[in-house]
Structure formats: C-alpha cells, structure tokens
Amino acid sequence: MFYTDVKPRAPLAEYDQSLLWTMVLLVGLGIVMVYSASIAIAEGSRASGYQPTYYLVRHALLVAASLVAAVVAFQIPLRLWQQAAPYLFLFGAGLLILVLVPGVGREVNGSQRWISLHFVTVQPSEFVKLFAVLYAADYTARKAAHMDSFRRGFLPMFMVMLLVGGLLLREPDFGAFVVITVIAMGILFLGGMNWKLFAGLFGLLLVGFVALILASPYRLQRVIGFMDPWADPYGRGYQLSHALIAFGRGEWLGVGLGASVEKLFYLPEAHTDFLLAVIAEELGFAGVAAVLLAFVWIVARAFMIGRRAALLERYFAALVAQGIGLWIGVQAIINIGVNTGMLPTKGLTLPLVSFGGSALATACCALAILLRVDWENRQMMRGFSV
C-alpha cells in the first residue's frame, strides 16, 4: 500500500461568490442611501403625496424588478446572447429614434431621453450601453481576422457608432455618448485592433469631444463652472460647490446616517447623480473608500473572468466580460469625478447605487451576464479536469 501527501483538489465553486456579494452590497447600500437622500425631497413634493418613503418604495420595487431581470439574464447561455446581439443593438437604435419622436419622448430639463409607459419611465440610452457591449463583442469576435484593416475591420463599426452617437447627441445625452464610445473603443482594442488605427481614432475622438464642447454653449458653461465653481457658487457652480461642501463636512467618518444637511434642498439631484456626495457627508471618507473598493473589485473580477474565458478560447464571452468591466468602471469613474469636482457635471448615475430604474436594471443584467460567463468558464474547467 502506498501513501501520498497530495490532498484532493477542492471542488470548483459554481460561480464567483465575491462578485455576487459585492453587487448585493452595493445595491443594498443604494437602498439605504436613496432613502436617506430623498426624504426631504419626497416630503416637499406634491407629486409624492408628501410621503417621506415615496422614493424608498419606488426604488425597492425597481430593485426587485431588476434582480428578477438579472436572474432571467443569467439563465440565457452566452451563445444565445451572441446570436441576439445584432438584433438587440438594432432594437436599441430604434428606441433612440423613438425617444426623439414628438409626443413619444418625454422632455425633462431640456433633454428628451425618456419614454413614458404610464406605469414606468424608460431611458433607452441605458439599455443601449448593454446592447453596445454585446454588439461590439460579437462584431470583434466575428471580424478578428480583419482587425488590421481600416475598410473591413474599423470602418463598419465606426459608421454604426457614429449613427448611435448622433442620436444620443440629439437628445442630448453626452454622458451616455462618452460611455458607449469608450465601450466600443475598448472592446475593439482588446480584440486586437491595429494600434495605429486605434491611435488615429483616439486622436479624432479627442478633437470631436473638444469641438462638441465648444459648439454647445451649455456644455462650455459646465466646463467653465467645473474649473472654478466658487467663481459663481449661486449660478453655474451651484451644484458642484454644494457637492464639495458635502465632502468637506463628511471628513473621515461622516456626520452620521441621515444627518446630511446638503440633501435638504441644497444639493440638486441628491438621490441620483450626486448620491455619492450624500454618502461622503453621512459616511465620510470611510464610506466613499468602501464604494470605490467595491467598484475596483467588480472591474478586476470582470477582467480576470474575461482572461479566463480567452484562455478557454471563448472570445465573445471574454470580450463581453471585459466590456462590462469597462462600462461599470468608466461610468463609476465619471460619476465619482463629477461628484468630487474632477470632471465637468454630467447626468450619469453611480451604477447599482443611484436611484433610476433603467440604469439599475441594465447594470444588474450586465453583472448577471458576467456571472454567466464565469459559470460557463467553470463548467468547462470542470469538464477538462474530469
């Protein structure tokens, strides 16, 4: 009889539990902070019936619906997502056209970005972010042999994104345009695009962004206000100056949950775009650092899952995973940059945390697809080890 010190390998887990729990913790934090940030707004709003729990109830229902959608998304194999990717992208482009139709699209604060379905309001640009990830990954996987070609590899994708970008700028939704552009560029680069083409595209995009800012007075005013919010603290610098005050008041550990002053009608959009400022004021540097670490972990896991898929020669799945990581990471960076005064003010929510049904549903579905990529990776690795 022979003895060995080699221990049997631990069974491979079915899914990435740390990724799932990070998602759950961010969503849970969002429920708490949306309630805290929206109490005063709800009590002062006739539309809410002056009920302090108005936004809490709505957000909780949106969270429940988003989690159900995420469970459904997880059940769909990646091969079906790949087959559906072009059609989903066309559907998303159709919604972007529909939202511009008078009488269909709903206008708020000068932007026509929403479609009202009576019981819920849908923001098509949020769904297009997910569809762009799937379409760009499918396109890059199919055109892998032509990524060095300007005509066959780069130009078709460029024309498609130009069309979508034009529709987004008509709304206007410059923030979504930036995020979708980064998604498409990032996936093309990760898919092996010729570096000279990529550098040329990057240069053209920089010129285009500067031209868009200079050509639009309100965008130019936002940039000027961001550079020195204290020059006009009651005008163009109002929102940012109050966000910075909230960060200053929070210090290391915050003033306490529910004790924010800035949310009391001083800080606009406190429960949506500027929720991080309320987190900073009530939970301090510690709370903001925890949120940052959670997003870093999600992005890191997305790229690790994508790398594992690539090693298993699942190239579409790899690009989808890394594209989702890019999307969540870039949108979080922009929102955090806006809240801290490092970037001009843009209407982008903090993924998984801020109030907003369309954004929450698409982010949950995206992470469910990411978990599906990881689950399929593990099933393949289990098959190889048998």
Beta strand extents in 71-171 (DSSP E only)? 105-108, 111-116, 121-122
| More confident call, 295 vs 386 | 295
Res 230: pLDDT: 81
> Across residues 216-244, what is the average pLDDT?
79
Residue 295 and residue 298: Cα distance in Å, rounded? 5
> Across residues 122-151, what is the average pLDDT?
90
Res 207: pLDDT: 79
Exposed / middle / buried, residue 17 (Cβ in 10 Å: 0-12, 13-18, 19+) = exposed
- Percentage of residues of the chain with pLDDT beyond 70: 95
Q: Say how many C-beta atoms besides its own lie within 10 A of residue 385's C-beta.
A: 8
Specify the residue for token string 């690009």. 319
pLDDT band at 192 (very low <50, low <70, confident <90, very high): confident
pTM higher than 0.85 for the full model? yes
Query: How far is CA 87 from its chain centroid?
Result: 21
In order, the DSSP letters of 194-245 are -HHHHHHHHHHHHHHHHHHHHH-HHHHHHHHHHH-GGGSTTTTTHHHHHHHH
Query: Between the CA atoms of 192, 194, 197 and 201, what dihedral angle is there, to the nearest 10 degrees?
Result: 20
Res 385: pLDDT: 58
Of 77-81, 213-217, 226-230, 371-375, the poorest mean pLDDT is in 213-217
Q: Is-cis flag, bond preceding 102, omega within 30?
A: no
pLDDT tens for each residue of 65-107: 999 999 999 999 999 999 999 999 999 999 999 999 888 888 7
**Residue 11 pLDDT > 90:** no
Q: Say how many C-beta atoms besides its own lie within 10 A of residue 203's C-beta.
A: 10
pLDDT band at 12 (very low <50, low <70, confident <90, very high): low
Residue 332 and residue 231: Cα distance in Å, rounded? 27
Q: Say how many C-beta atoms besides its own lie within 10 A of residue 57's C-beta.
A: 13
| More confident call, 199 vs 12 | 199
In the structure encoding, which two tokens stand for residue 131, read together? 């569809």
Output the CA–CA distances (angstroms, integers) from residue 208 to 7, 93, 170, 262, in the order listed. Answer: 59, 21, 15, 36
| More confident call, 190 vs 4 | 190
